């Protein structure tokens, strides 16, 4: 279980399954300091976390949460990942097993 910085927890294996379902092998961090209704990156970690967090209007994918995820060894930080929403290259998390899956 991963503790969110502003309350709540989630199972990191649920995130692994979500990322696998996207077919990308990664998820961008996508943290935004905006209300949930105004979030512009629905394919990001921040958006995904806000759907389960107690307060949807608070940024959830902060660097502390990213570090907690990396410590599970299920994820690794990656730079230059293409954002599926904006097309820009961003920081995010790649599945650790994606390296062996050719992703």
Per-residue pLDDT of the chain (103 residues; tens, 9 = 90+): 999 999 999 999 999 999 999 999 999 999 999 999 999 999 999 999 999 999 999 999 999 999 999 999 999 999 999 999 999 999 999 999 855 444 4
Q: 58 is written with which tokens?
A: 């608070």
Please report the pLDDT score of residue 97 as a whole number: 81
Q: 79 is written with which tokens?
A: 């730079």
Strand arrangement of the beta sheet that strand 26-28 belongs to? 26-28, 89-95, 75-82
Note if the pTM is more than 0.85.
yes
């Amino acid at each position: 279980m991963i503790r969110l910085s502003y309350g709540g927890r989630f199972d990191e294996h649920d995130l692994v399954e979500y990322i696998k379902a996207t077919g990308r092998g990664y998820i961008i961090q996508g943290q935004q300091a905006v209300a949930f209704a105004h979030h512009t990156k629905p394919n990001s970690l921040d958006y995904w976390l806000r759907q389960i967090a107690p307060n949807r209007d608070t940024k959830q994918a902060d660097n502390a949460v990213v570090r907690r995820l990396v410590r599970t060894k299920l994820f690794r930080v990656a730079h230059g990942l293409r954002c599926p929403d904006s097309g820009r290259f961003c920081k995010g998390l790649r599945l650790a097993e994606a390296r062996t899956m050719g992703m």
